[in-house]
């Protein structure tokens, strides 16, 4: 029995230490010289509301930007972008989203451009959230699958403007590591339809340049 | 008194002769040109329609992961678009086929108003969607057996 539990216990310890390391990294002071001071995160401020008219800067490769149909390249995991903030609480400008904070040396993403989206949301105090239900099962006595789409402020140590579109399915946020388990191709039809809805929603945002949360 | 048909001036005969000659020549040339145009049209449209057929076969050959359900729905979709194009002489260069990252087959057309997407998932179920630059978009879903291109994508070229 102990022999069975021991590996599980070790895995748990490793996972906890990774989480702790991550949170320490997020809260430690930014040491990168090429990152402007205003992008350094103080470790505390998270503004989970978005302003009406606020800009979102989405870095994408030039190949993706020139693509006629954004649907071809969209996935629903780890959709990162930078928020602009608004007068009085400015977070970043469009060109800041081209700063590479994964490297120590001054580095900028090459062959990338920025798609500028505008948030349309009348209620500042409301969380930016949309709920999607599978339209083909809504009137039937079948399992109801629901996916929630959130726009959240997710500051990093060297990028206080970092924000994300996150998708919650079955009570869990979809992450890149477990994308296949959440939205993979072998999932029930309803999940595939919901995946298409979410991707279409992002496609509509890219085409219209508007993020509508009303 | 009616003039005798045999009695007419040389000038009149000359004009009639020239006119008839020109007319014959004109008719002949007109017929030739019309025949050429018809011939060119035939070649053009047959190549043109074959192009969509070629696209379909090339796409299937290039994408091994495409499912039987997707092939069947894609075939029905393209057949409808092809018949629509041939009846209405619409340019089909705008129609594109692509594969998305989650193995959905996309048939799409970009217009000045936005993007019309036909998304066929691995089960063959279909989502039609319009994403507008200015206009508000929409989307609809169809089960693979219920999807009827003539009824469900008849606005593909009008948007």
Cα separation values, A87 from A53, A54, A213, B28, B133, Å: 11, 10, 21, 77, 27
Banded pLDDT at A170 (limits 50, 70, 90) = confident
Contacts of A200 in chain B (CB under 8 A): 117, 119, 127, 129, 131, 139
Q: Chain-wide mean pLDDT for chain B?
A: 82
The answer to whether B102 and A194 are in contact (CB under 8 A) is no
DSSP bridge pairs for A153: A163
Residue range A135-147, pLDDT digits in tens: 877 656 667 788 9
Residue B85 C-alpha from the chain's centroid:
3
Query: Any CB–CB contact under 8 A between B63 and chain A?
Result: no
* Cα–Cα distance, B26 to B89 (Å, whole number): 29
- Cross-chain CB nearest to A189 (options B125, B129, B133): B125
* Cα–Cα distance, A152 to A166 (Å, whole number): 7
Which residues 6+ apart lie within 8 Å of A170 measured at CB?
A182
Per-residue tokens: A36: 């402007």
Residue B37 C-alpha from the chain's centroid:
17
Instruction: Kindly determine whether residue B119 and residue A200, on different chains, have CB atoms separated by under 8 Å.
Output: yes
Write down the H helix ranges in A37-167.
Answer: 62-66
Is the confidence metric ipTM above 0.85 for this complex? no
Average pLDDT over residues A48-56: 92
The answer to whether A190 and A165 are in contact (CB under 8 A) is no
Query: Any CB–CB contact under 8 A between B73 and chain A?
Result: no
> CA angle, A47 as apex, A94 and A120 as ends, to 5°?
60
Give pTM, 2 decimals. Answer: 0.77
Residue (of A70, A48, A158) closest to A115 by Cα position = A70
Instruction: Kindly determine whether residue B106 and residue A203, on different chains, have CB atoms separated by under 8 Å.
Output: no
Q: Which residue has the tokens 């500028």?
A: A116
Nearest residue in chain A measured CA to CA from B132: A208
Residue (of A178, A174, B28, A1) closest to A164 by Cα position = A174
Contacts of A75 in chain B (CB under 8 A): 101-102
Can you give the length of chain A in residues?
Answer: 214
Q: In the A/B pair of chains, how many CB contacts fall below 8 A?
A: 79
Residue range A155-169, pLDDT digits in tens: 999 999 999 999 988
Banded pLDDT at A17 (limits 50, 70, 90) = very low
pLDDT for A58 equals 96
Banded pLDDT at B82 (limits 50, 70, 90) = confident
């Amino acid at each position: 029995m102990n022999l069975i539990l021991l590996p599980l216990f070790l895995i748990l310890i490793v996972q906890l230490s990774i989480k702790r390391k991550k949170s320490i990294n997020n809260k430690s002071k930014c040491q990168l010289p090429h990152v402007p001071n205003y992008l350094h995160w103080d470790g505390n401020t998270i503004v989970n509301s978005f302003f009406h008219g606020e800009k979102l800067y989405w870095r994408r490769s030039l190949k993706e930007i020139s693509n006629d149909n954004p649907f071809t390249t969209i996935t629903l995991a780890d959709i990162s972008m930078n928020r602009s903030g608004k007068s009085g609480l400015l977070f970043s400008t469009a060109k800041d989203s081209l700063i590479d904070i994964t490297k120590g040396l001054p580095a900028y993403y090459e062959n990338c451009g920025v798609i500028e989206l505008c948030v349309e949301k009348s209620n500042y105090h409301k969380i930016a959230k949309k709920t999607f239900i599978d339209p083909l099962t809504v009137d039937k006595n079948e399992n109801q699958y629901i996916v929630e789409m959130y726009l959240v402020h997710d500051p990093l140590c060297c990028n206080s403007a970092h924000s994300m579109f996150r998708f919650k399915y079955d009570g869990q946020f979809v992450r890149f590591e477990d994308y296949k388990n959440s939205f993979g191709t072998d999932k029930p039809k309803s999940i595939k339809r919901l995946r298409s809805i979410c991707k279409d929603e992002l496609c509509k945002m890219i085409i219209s340049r508007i993020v509508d949360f009303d | 008194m009616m003039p005798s048909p045999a009695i007419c001036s040389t000038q009149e005969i000359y004009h009639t002769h020239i006119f008839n000659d020109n007319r014959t020549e004109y008719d002949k040339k007109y017929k030739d040109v019309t025949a050429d145009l018809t011939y060119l049209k035939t070649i053009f449209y047959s190549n043109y329609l074959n192009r969509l057929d070629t696209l379909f076969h090339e796409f299937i050959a290039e994408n091994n992961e495409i499912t039987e359900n997707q092939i069947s729905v894609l075939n029905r979709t393209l057949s409808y678009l092809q018949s629509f194009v041939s009846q209405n002489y619409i340019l089909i260069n705008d129609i594109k086929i692509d594969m998305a990252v989650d193995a959905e087959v996309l048939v799409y057309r970009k217009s000045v108003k936005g993007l019309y997407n036909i998304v066929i998932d691995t089960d063959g179920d279909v989502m039609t969607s319009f994403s507008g630059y200015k206009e508000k978009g929409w989307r609809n879903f169809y089960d693979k057996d219920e999807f009827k291109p003539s009824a469900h994508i008849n606005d593909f070229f009008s948007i």
